[in-house]
Amino acid sequence: MISIHPETTRLGWIGTGVMGRSMCTHLLKAGYSLSVYNRTPEKSDSLVQMGARRCESPLQVAQNSDVVFSMVGYPSDVEEVLLGESGALRGLRSGGILVDMTTSRPALAEAVYDKAKQMGCHALDAPVSGGDIGAKEARLSIMVGGDRDVFDALVPLWKSMGKTYVYQGPAGSGQHTKMVNQILIASSMVGLCEALLYATRSGLDPQTVLESVSSGAAGSWSLSNLTPRILREDYSPGFFVDHFVKDLGIVLDEAARMQLQLPGVELAIDLYRKLQGMGHGSSGTQALWLAVSR
Amino acid sequence: MISIHPETTRLGWIGTGVMGRSMCTHLLKAGYSLSVYNRTPEKSDSLVQMGARRCESPLQVAQNSDVVFSMVGYPSDVEEVLLGESGALRGLRSGGILVDMTTSRPALAEAVYDKAKQMGCHALDAPVSGGDIGAKEARLSIMVGGDRDVFDALVPLWKSMGKTYVYQGPAGSGQHTKMVNQILIASSMVGLCEALLYATRSGLDPQTVLESVSSGAAGSWSLSNLTPRILREDYSPGFFVDHFVKDLGIVLDEAARMQLQLPGVELAIDLYRKLQGMGHGSSGTQALWLAVSR
């Protein structure tokens, strides 16, 4: 198995959006050489200024890398940048490693894993939680599926980007774990908005209510971190509504496949779709308040 | 306004169940004289051994007290012990204070407040969160409605029983705040159980999943404190299912009155009623897992 060291390991990164860019910055600061690709090249400019090499395609990134990370938007993007005509897998050396950090379909993670194996390569699914701030502060939680020895080999890289990194099981398990994370957030957001609606309509002062309820059995990360944003009408994205709807769609597809009923998730996706219909796809998830309160 | 001091203030307590008993213990230890009443007298035995005086009725408690607390089961019990034939209000001296700590209807809190005023007395609604353990460790959150000067006068008593005590507004505001608390818990419990269902069915190890999800944006008190109980199949009550259904019923009645839709609460009460139907009314709220997973 590969041994990771800044002087000998060449890294690649596909998808330098808000989160990817922060994560790349940590890797560059740790001393790694880094090849980057983004569909909109300007989004890699700051990384190139820090010493990253700009590539013309995912394939070119892979030709210059031992470990290739991807962090893009949708499962269709993952398919294209990893498995497509000019995708990373076609350029990766034998023994090379693909790490997809996009939140995507578990079945796609399994397919990437199988195809990588066929080429003598490795693949991990490693979605994260913690949002833009977690990425910036290297405090992400990284949930990993694939082979344990590959997970173990990459520990120095997980450490550069995250605070919590846990091996969850075979290919797809990282994605499944992220789905669990999103299920928890979905109902938590519905509860938060309904609680806020009840509080305001019954004449309470929401800020004073928070003093009573946030540190006890009703407490949650969402309540403590997103309610203040709602109260100052700040709907800017920590995490995009459009992406959350994508994630909950994957959850419900997987649930249908496993013949599970998840009415809490169904309720949440309905409300979030209503919010998209109100033109808030690019707002942060806390904008759910606007759909619940109108 | 009354000045509270262990040597001069006579306290009374109606309803010495699990939580009431712990709270009375703190008051006795703080040096107050205490008159107690419970429908099932044996439940006051330990308090009588500590020096409390046993009374035959709520009325008799009030005749011996300057401040009377009540903590009973349902709004109908509150009505009986405070406003009934042998209820506390009939025995309370002018200037005396009623403090109802039961989770009950906001409108009833307002009625008690008005009736107390007519008698030259005061009333506060002061429901709590924190459960049996919070009561035992004097770490409750106490949410108070009524007159602010009465709330202020009772600070030494709040301090004996709770960690957080917040004045929320006029009569009924304590109850409304507690409803907000229960709305948050309701959706949180649904999310927790659906997440656990997805995790187990997709082949993940729930304990390992918790390591990834509990400290980030999906984190909550319920997730950290109740999931471990579910995983060891411990459905013993911190908080009774029957009482939670009562609380959510009050929430929905109030919501209907305010013409609010709370679909998350509706979903939760349906699942909890299903759980009651399975014979789990006296289990703890974490038993919701049994209704969601079957």
Question: Does the complex come out with an ipTM higher than 0.90?
Answer: yes
Check if CATH label 1.10.1040.10 holds for domain A177-293.
Answer: yes
pLDDT of B2: 85
What pLDDT does A245 receive?
A: 98
Which of B129, B215, B255 has the CB atom closest to A217's CB atom? B129
Instruction: Please report the pLDDT score of residue B201 as a whole number.
Output: 97
**3-class DSSP state of B138:** coil
- Å between B218 CA and nearest CA of chain A: 5
Instruction: Give the gap in angstroms from C-alpha A8 to the nearest C-alpha of chain B.
Output: 30
The answer on pLDDT for A131 being more than 90 is no
Burial-class residue A143 by CB neighbours within 10 Å (0-12, 13-18, 19+). Answer: buried
CA-based nearest distance B91→chain A, Å: 32
At A233-290, the pLDDT tens digits run: 999 998 899 999 999 999 999 999 999 999 999 999 999 999 999 999 999 999 999 9
Are the beta carbons of B201 and A169 separated by less than 8 Å? no
Q: At CA B15, angle to CA B10 and CA B21, rounded to 5?
A: 80
A73 three-class SS: coil
Burial, B178: exposed, middle or buried (Cβ in 10 Å; 0-12, 13-18, 19+)?
A: buried
Q: Which residues contact A40 (CB under 8 A, 6 or more apart)?
A: none
* Contact across the interface for A168 and B131, Cβ inside 8 Å: no
Answer yes or no: is pLDDT of A133 > 90.
Answer: no
DSSP at B195:
H
Determine the pLDDT at residue A181: 98
- Do the beta carbons of residue B205 and residue A232 sit within 8 Å? no
| Contact across the interface for B173 and A215, Cβ inside 8 Å | no
Predicted pLDDT of residue B1: 78
The stretch A214-221 carries a mean pLDDT of 93
What is the token pair recorded at A116?
A: 């990588």
Q: Under DSSP, is residue B104 helix (H, G, I), strand (E, B) or coil?
A: coil
Contact B176 A203 (CB under 8 A): yes
**8 Å CB contact of A223 and B184:** yes
Give, to the nearest 10 degrees, the angle between helix B263-277 and helix B173-201.
Answer: 70
Q: How far is A179 from chain B (nearest CA, A)?
A: 8
CA-based nearest residue to A102, from A42, A12, A15, A11: A15
Pick from A31, A21, B134: nearest CA to A11: A31
CA B131 – CA B196 distance, rounded (Å): 23
> 10 Å Cβ neighbour count for A84?
17
In whole angstroms, give the CA distance from residue A169 to residue A144.
7
- Contacts A–B by Cβ distance under 8 A: 238
CATH code of the domain occupying B10-171: 3.40.50.720
Active-site residue, from B43, B136, B178, B274: B178
Comma-separated ranges of CATH 3.40.50.720 domains in chain A: 10-171
Q: Which of A198, A209, A263 is facing B267, going by the closest CB pair?
A: A263
Which residues on A lie below 8 Å from B217 (Cβ)?
Answer: 129-131, 181, 185, 221-222, 225, 239
Joined together, the tokens standing for residue A158 give: 């997980």
* Backbone φ and ψ of A167, nearest 5°: -80, 120
- Min Cα–Cα distance to chain B from A180, Å: 5
Q: Bridge partners of A233?
A: none
Which residues have CB under 8 Å from A261's CB, separation 6+? A255
In this complex, the residue of B173, B190, B205 whose CB is nearest that of residue A264 is: B190
pLDDT > 70: percent of chain B: 100
- Helix/strand/coil for B13: strand
Structure tokens given for A121:
């390569």
Name the β-bridge partners of A141.
A129, A164
Calpha distance A151→B5 (Å, rounded): 63
Is A178 known to be catalytic?
A: yes
Q: Quick check: A199 and B176 in contact, CB under 8 A?
A: yes
DSSP letters of A26-71?
Answer: HHHHTT-EEEEE-SSGGGGHHHHHTTPEE-SSHHHHHHT-SEEEE-
Q: What is the mean pLDDT of residues A210-228?
A: 95
Mean pLDDT of B36-42: 97
Burial environment of residue B68 by CB neighbours within 10 A (0 to 12, 13 to 18, 19 or more): buried
pLDDT at residue B294, as a whole number? 86
CA distance B197 to B208: 14
Residue given tokens 């729930």 in the structure block = B206
CB–CB of A184 and B195 under 8 A?
yes
Tokens matching residue A143: 């949930």
Q: Which of B168, B212, B260 sits opposite A166 (nearest CB)?
A: B212
Q: Choosing among B140, B167, B183, B294, which should be mutated to test the A contact, i.e. which has the most A CBs within 10 A?
A: B183
Cα separation values, A1 from A4, A52, A97, A150, B93, Å: 10, 25, 10, 7, 82
Contact B188 A164 (CB under 8 A): no
A213 Cα to chain B: minimum distance (Å): 6
C-beta separation of A48 from A36 below 8 A: yes
In this complex, which of A164, A198, A251 lies closest to B215 when CB atoms are compared? A164
> Is residue B205 over pLDDT 90?
yes
> In what helix (H) or strand (E) does residue A248 lie, and over which residues does it extend?
helix A241-257
**Active-site entry in A43, A117, A178, A246:** A178
CB contact under 8 A, A221 and B223: no
Q: Do B184 and A220 touch (CB under 8 A)?
A: yes
In this complex, do B177 and A255 lie within 8 Å of one another by their Cβ atoms?
Answer: no
Would the CB atoms of B185 and A130 count as touching at under 8 Å? Answer: no
pLDDT tens digits, B122-145: 999 999 999 888 999 999 999 999
| Residue A2 burial by Cβ neighbours in a 10 Å radius (0-12, 13-18, 19+) | middle
Bridge-based pairing of strands B128-129 and B140-145 is antiparallel
Provide the token pair at A199.
């509080």
**Contact residues on chain B for A216, CB-CB shorter than 8 A:** 129-130, 134, 141, 164, 181, 221
Instruction: Please say whether the beta carbons of B161 and B27 come within 8 A.
Output: yes
Is pLDDT above 90 for A165? yes
Of A181, A186, A192, the CB nearest to B184: A192
Q: Which residues of B touch A212 (CB under 8 A)?
A: 129, 141, 143, 164, 166, 168, 177, 181
Chain A residue numbers touching B215 (CB-CB < 8 A): 141, 164
> Tokens 């994560």 correspond to what residue?
A23
| B253 pLDDT more than 90 | yes
